[in-house]
Amino acid sequence: MSFDATRDLDRKFSALAAHRSAFGVTDDMLADPQAAVRPMLEAFRAVLAREVFVLGATGVATPRWPLTDFFDGLDVPESQAHQAPSDDSNAFQSARA
pLDDT tens digits, one per residue of 79-88: 555 555 454 4
When pLDDT is averaged across residues 48-71 and rounded to a whole number, the result is 78
Cis check: omega of the bond before 66, within 30 degrees of 0: yes
The answer to whether the CB of 45 falls within 8 A of the CB of 95 is yes
How far apart (Å, rounded) are the C-alpha atoms in residues 47 and 60? 30
- Band the pLDDT of 93: cuts 50, 70, 90: very low
The three-class DSSP label of residue 40 is helix
- Band the pLDDT of 48: cuts 50, 70, 90: very high
In percent, the amount of the chain with pLDDT more than 70 equals 76
Domain boundaries, the chain: 2-96
Amino acid in position 74? L
Name which of 55, 49, 87 is nearest 71 in CA terms.
55
This prediction has a pTM of 0.57
Please indicate whether residue 46 or residue 80 has the higher confidence score (pLDDT).
46
